[in-house]
Amino acid sequence: MSKSNDNNFTISVAAGKGGTGKTLVATSLALALDEQYPGRIQLIDCDVEEPNADILLHPQISSEEPVYILVPQVDLEECIYCGKCAEACQFSAIVVIRQAVITFPQLCAGCGACSYVCPTGAITEVQRQVGLLSKGSAEGTIEFIQGRLTVGDQRATPVTRAAKDCVDEKMIAILDAPPGTACPMQETIEDSDYCILVTEPTPFGLANLQDSVETCRRMDVPCGVIINRHGVGNSGVEQYCENENLPLLLRIPQQRRIAEAYSRGQTLAAADNQWMKPLQKVFDQITNLLTD
């Protein structure tokens, strides 16, 4: 009995380069695993700047809750314009000019330094919405979670964190990460058991894959590679994987048919049932790598 549940891994799907097929892989994998392990799959869209997993999984959303950070509100009756708040703020989100205090909520990290140092208690902190967390289900049994950053807000991290907090240790969680290797991607993959890196076989794909692999290694997250659009470009990515001893988990061919299905909002698995098995095998490979 315990055997069937010792594969409750958290797996991130990431890519240095955008548009290589992260979301396609994450959602297709969720569908394929849902067939094998119904009721045990979570798909969490952590690409909060441009969340797209819902377009491919068509979830029923059952609840939506705002994501807040705390930002300062200054009571000018109490303020003595000493400037200590501005001095303490590392993000230039509060400025004191003579008899005026100006705040820039979009730059605020919500750390509370300003209210901590204020000698007169003139600063209180108020909630400010920076995103939305949606929860629901897809295909009946996949638990679907999506973080969505408010357009105009620049700090993705609190929203990513809120989405990631929904990881259920008793389930197989698949996290769709944002592109790149900077803070939003790192925030997503931190604490994952494994990271699938999706790339394309071009010099662009290779350069960004190398950055992603370095980032995973620095963070001690084991990683493997899926090549999308296999057949175009050159063999650089495959050679790199071989030299670096990186597991090549799957090759998805360049096919206009796949691109067209994707354009309509269809996963690999929905477009062609034959993809179920190879995707389930990807998970088996990861399970073997993690339990050996």
* Interacting residue ranges for other proteins, rule: CB under 8 A: 15-20, 23, 49-50, 52, 55-56, 70, 88, 90-91, 109-113, 116-117, 149, 151-152, 154-157, 178-184, 186-187, 190, 202-204, 207-208, 211-212, 214-215, 218-219, 229, 232-234, 254, 256, 259-260, 262-265
35 versus 82: smaller Cβ distance to other proteins: 82
CB nearer to other proteins: pick between 111 and 290: 111
For other proteins, which is the closer residue by CB, 172 or 266? 266
Measured over the CA atoms of residue 98, residue 99, residue 102 and residue 108, the dihedral's sign is: positive
Q: Which is nearer to other proteins, 168 or 211 (CB)?
A: 211
Residues 6+ apart with CB under 8 A from 107: 91, 92, 93, 154
Nearest distance from residue 27's CB to other proteins, in Å?
Answer: 11
Task: Give 51 or 247: the residue with its C-beta nearer to other proteins.
Answer: 51
Three-state SS at 41: strand
Neighbours of 38 (CB within 10 A): 12
Cβ nearer to other proteins, comparing 140 with 152: 152
Q: How far is CA 181 from CA 12, 22, 200, 216, 257, in A?
A: 13, 14, 16, 9, 30
- Show the tokens assigned to 107: 């730059």
Sign of CA dihedral 79, 84, 88, 92: positive
Q: What are the φ and ψ backbone dihedral angles of 233, each rounded to 5 degrees?
A: 70, -135
Least distance CB 271 / other proteins (angstroms): 13
Q: Which is nearer to other proteins, 264 or 281 (CB)?
A: 264
Residue 139 CA to residue 37 CA, distance in Å, equals 13
Q: How far is CA 60 from CA 51, 54, 135, in A?
A: 16, 9, 8
- Which tokens is 240 given? 């790199």
- Nearest approach in angstroms of CB 33 to other proteins is 21
Q: How many CB atoms lie within 10 A of CB 181?
A: 21
42 or 212: CB nearest other proteins? 212
Please state the closest distance from residue 257 (CB atom) to other proteins, in A.
11
CB of 88 to other proteins, least distance (A): 6
Q: How far is the CB of 254 from other proteins (least distance, A)?
A: 6
Q: Measuring CA to CA, which residue among 261, 222, 274 is closest to residue 244?
A: 222
Q: How far is the CB of 224 from other proteins (least distance, A)?
A: 17
Work out how close the CB of 277 gets to other proteins at its nearest, in angstroms, rounded to a whole number.
Answer: 26
What is the Cα–Cα distance from 171 to 212, expressed in whole angstroms?
Answer: 26
In degrees and rounded to multiples of 5, residue 29 shows phi and psi of -65, -40
